[in-house]
């Protein structure tokens, strides 16, 4: 019989060998699994393979965070209504930050009257990588409209070269959407959607647009249109109009799309192509330039005539608070129109952006 000391020594040796074998086997299984994951991850599968990222993170870049996973046609098709109508807005990094403009925009759809369902038809057009990444977190339909010519990630101040380039790029992009056969409602993200606007649109119009000032007649070219909200039907007339509008930037250099629209709305070309242009009543489609006074009729409210992110965010939040207060009222008080907007506050009506000097000089 072996001495007790020798038995103890043998037991320790066996324990050490067993521990070493266990660790070696575990490492072998682990690295084979990681290697298998790297191999099989090259192929699409609806059955995700087990991963060990919490222990051994793999260094890789998710291409969907920096580029479009699907072409624009597929995204528009998935978002479109039965009549091939989509809702479009643009977004850059400055407006995409948490608790910024885009969050208020989406919130308005969620608390509006019959507007939540319209989010299914909204496509957010991101103008930079960070806006695109944020969009993919908060919304279903996102498209990255990258630009090699300019960087649109910062707040584009009014009438700066970046602002002008961004506005004209938007017009050209919208033309391409029309050429793909889609009708669209374009809306700036600083427009709050409080009611479904579609019942208020004119059935016979090719191009209809909201106004900074509404004269009282929907076909009066003296109305002062605002390019932040329009409904356009896809047809040959609207496509030719958008081409003409975009090319007019060269005729009137240094002016943005809205100023140029205020000029070309008088042009004989509009009548020649047979475009039916109408202007939307500020009673339904209001803004800080000319607020919709009756909350029983308002569909959208735009934070126009407003400069600076802080001022805009402040007044947009007040708008949402006013709408929530209106919704809390009993039907009898709603009908009496006892509630109105408390805006503008930090935004000023004195900051009307379009004095009309260029428009007037062209008419004269």
> How large a percentage of the chain has pLDDT more than 90?
67
Bridge partners (DSSP) of residue 277 are 207
CA–CA separation, 279 vs 211, rounded Å? 7
**pLDDT band at 163; cut points 50, 70, 90:** confident
Rg (CA), the chain: 29
Listed range (13-17, 83-87, 207-211) with the worst mean pLDDT: 13-17
Nearest-angstrom CA–CA distance, 336 and 245: 43
CA distance 134 to 142: 10
pLDDT at 356: 42
**Distance, CA of 92 to CA of 128 (rounded, Å):** 6
Q: Is the pLDDT of residue 321 over 70?
A: yes
Mean pLDDT estimate for the chain: 82
pTM check: above 0.85: no
Cβ atoms within 10 A of the Cβ of 165, count?
18
Query: At 90, is the secondary structure helix, strand, or coil?
Result: strand
Give the helix/strand (H/E) hosting 163: helix 161-179
DSSP 299-347: -EEE--S--SHHHHHHHHHHHHHHHHHHHHS-HHHHHTT-------SSS
Exposure string of 200-230, with b = 16+ CB inside 10 Å and e = fewer, is bbeeebbbbbbbbbbeeebeeeebbbbbbbb
Domains and CATH numbers, the chain: 74-347 (3.90.550.10)
Q: What is the mean pLDDT of residues 153-181?
A: 79
């Amino acid at each position: 019989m072996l001495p007790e000391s020798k038995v103890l020594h043998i037991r320790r040796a066996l324990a050490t060998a067993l521990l070493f074998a266990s660790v070696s086997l575990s490492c072998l299984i682990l690295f084979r699994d990681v290697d298998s994951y790297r191999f099989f991850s090259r192929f699409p599968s609806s059955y995700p393979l087990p991963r060990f990222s919490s222990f051994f993170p793999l260094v890789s870049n998710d291409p969907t965070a920096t580029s479009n996973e699907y072409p624009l046609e597929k995204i528009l098709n998935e978002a479109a209504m039965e009549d091939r109508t989509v809702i479009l807005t643009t977004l850059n990094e400055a407006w995409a930050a948490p608790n910024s403009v885009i969050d208020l925009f989406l919130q308005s759809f969620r608390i509006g009257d019959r507007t939540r369902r319209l989010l299914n038809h909204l496509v957010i057009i991101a103008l930079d990588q960070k806006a695109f990444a944020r969009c993919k977190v908060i919304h279903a339909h996102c498209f990255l409209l990258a630009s090699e010519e300019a960087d649109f990630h910062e707040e584009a101040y009014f009438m700066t070269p970046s602002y002008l380039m961004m506005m004209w790029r938007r017009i050209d992009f919208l033309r391409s959407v029309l050429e793909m056969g889609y009708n669209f409602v374009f809306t700036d993200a600083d427009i709050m959607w409080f009611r479904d606007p579609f019942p208020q649109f004119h059935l016979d119009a090719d191009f209809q647009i909201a106004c900074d000032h509404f004269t009282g007649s929907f076909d009066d070219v003296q109305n002062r249109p605002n390019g932040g909200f329009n409904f356009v039907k896809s047809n040959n007339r609207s496509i030719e109009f958008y081409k003409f509008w975009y090319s007019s930037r060269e005729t009137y250099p240094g002016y943005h799309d809205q100023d140029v629209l205020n000029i070309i709305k008088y042009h004989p070309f509009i009548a020649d192509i047979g475009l039916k242009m109408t202007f939307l009543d500020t009673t339904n489609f209001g803004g800080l330039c000319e607020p919709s006074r009756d909350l029983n009729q308002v569909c959208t409210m735009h934070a126009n005539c407003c400069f600076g992110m802080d001022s805009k965010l402040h007044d947009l939040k007040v708008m949402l608070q006013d709408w929530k207060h209106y919704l809390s009222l009993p039907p009898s008080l709603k009908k009496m129109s006892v509630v109105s907007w408390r805006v503008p506050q930090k935004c000023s009506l004195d900051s009307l952006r379009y004095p009309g000097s260029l428009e007037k000089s062209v008419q004269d």
